[in-house]
Amino acid sequence: MKVQRAIKWLLITCCLGFSAHLAADEARVYISQIIDHPALNSVKKGLVEGLAEAGYQSGKNLTIEYQVANGSTSEAVQIARQFVGENPDVMVGIATPTAQALVASSRSIPIVFTAVTDPVGAHLVKRLDEPGRNVTGLSDLSPISQHLDLLKELLPETKRVGVLFNPGEANSVALLERIEAQASQRGLTIIQSEVLRNSDVKHLSKRLSKQVDVIYAMTDNTIASAIDDLIAPATEQNVPVFSGAVDYVEMGAIAGLGFDYYQIGKETAEYVVRVLEGEEPGSIPVRVAKGSDLAVNIQAAQRLGIEIPQSVKARVTQLY
């Protein structure tokens, strides 16, 4: 009888130990995204699929918690606090506001940011080559000089360029500074208009369209969440929209040069895997995402009477 009890206890102990081992081997990655829109959704999709390709599969050896802050910085802070309370292995911030909320919430849990324009300006890291602390990630800094060169190639008579942006977004402020610096070198004048809520985009776009030759739609989260409301009023007034993100082109911008955000997600997965496998985030250099796509909307251009030069058509990777 004593022998049977001993064997039974041994089996129970082994099973408990095995279960604990499985739980310890299951990675927990928590993802916070600032707003629901195609580019950022593509980042999340690429991240999850990149993790799966590296052997971390949701439901097997990976638990993923994913929340969207609905464009609210206060909600992003609440999500960050919840995540910290659950102490995951890695927290991922998609876009600047959610990354800032995560970094402010913890100095110990590893954090990987992605789709962040200016990590230094947003105070996520002090240096790109040596981020330090518990933070690293990937920047999607737009190639502004290439954008403005392409805009001039498409619309050589352009003089006044309108830009809508949210001054509360550090990424947008950093982009605007770069746009203004590069524009002056090309004889362009930037007419800027601040927008604090996506519900204001439509009437501000209509007003701005009366002052400019073209509107440049930057990778601003407020703009991205209401891109239709930017493009439609401009098009009605025969003002073309040039895009800093290829996703906007399918929606009616005449052209755009930008990153493949699904690929950015897969590159982000590489960072997460390195952290899960033991590297210190602060020792992994921040880098700018690779590559860019050129998208052109021929139909949108034709409606506005714009002829796309053959030199541009020859470089197109996405055509609508």
Reported as a single tens digit per residue, the pLDDT across 249-265 is: 999 999 999 888 999 99
One fold for 26-140+261-288 and 144-258+293-319: yes
Position 17 pLDDT exceeds 80:
no
CA 115 to chain CA mean position, Å: 3
Nearest Cα to Cα of residue 62 among 22, 27, 111: 27
Residue 7 has pLDDT above 50, yes or no: no
pLDDT band (50, 70, 90) for residue 11: very low
**Residue 12 structure tokens:** 């129970």
- Tokens describing residue 82: 């919840």
Q: Is the pLDDT of residue 4 over 80?
A: no
Question: Is residue 103's pLDDT more than 70?
Answer: yes
The pLDDT tens digits of the residues spanning 107-152 come to 999 999 999 999 999 999 999 999 999 999 999 998 999 999 999 9
Mean pLDDT (the chain, rounded): 92
Q: Is the pLDDT of residue 91 over 80?
A: yes
Q: In this predicted model, what pLDDT tens digit does every residue of 20-46 receive, in sequence order?
A: 333 447 999 999 999 998 889 999 999
Classify 144-258+293-319 by CATH class.
Answer: alpha beta
Using CA atoms in the order 256, 259, 263, 264, what is the torsion angle rounded to 10 degrees?
A: -140
Q: What is the mean pLDDT of residues 268-293?
A: 94
Task: Summarize the confidence of residues 186-210 as an average pLDDT.
Answer: 97
Provide the total of helices (H) and of strands (E) in the chain, helices listed first. Answer: 13, 13
Contact criterion met (CB below 8 Å) for 320 and 249: yes
The CA distance from 138 to 117, in Å, is 9
Read off the DSSP letter of residue 122.
Answer: T
Torsion of CA 202, 206, 211, 212, to 10 degrees: 70
Crossing angle of the two packed helices 170-184 and 96-105, in degrees rounded to 10: 130
Question: pLDDT at position 290, please?
Answer: 77
Q: Report pTM.
A: 0.83
Tell me the C-alpha distance between 45 and 228, whole Å.
23
Domain spans of the chain, in order of start = 26-140+261-288, 144-258+293-319
> Percent of the chain scored above 90 by pLDDT?
87
> What's 26-140+261-288's CATH class?
alpha beta
The beta-strand segments (E) located in 111-208 are: 111-116, 135-139, 160-165, 189-194
Flag whether pLDDT at 3 surpasses 70.
no
- Tell me the CB-side half-sphere exposure of residue 315, using CA atoms within 13 A: 13
Query: Per-residue confidence at 206, pLDDT binned at 50, 70, 90?
Result: very high
Using CA atoms, how far apart are residues 257 and 245, in angstroms rounded to an integer?
6
Q: Given this model, what pLDDT does residue 292 score?
A: 77
Instruction: Categorize the per-residue pLDDT at 289 as very low, low, confident or very high, splitting at 50, 70 and 90.
Output: confident
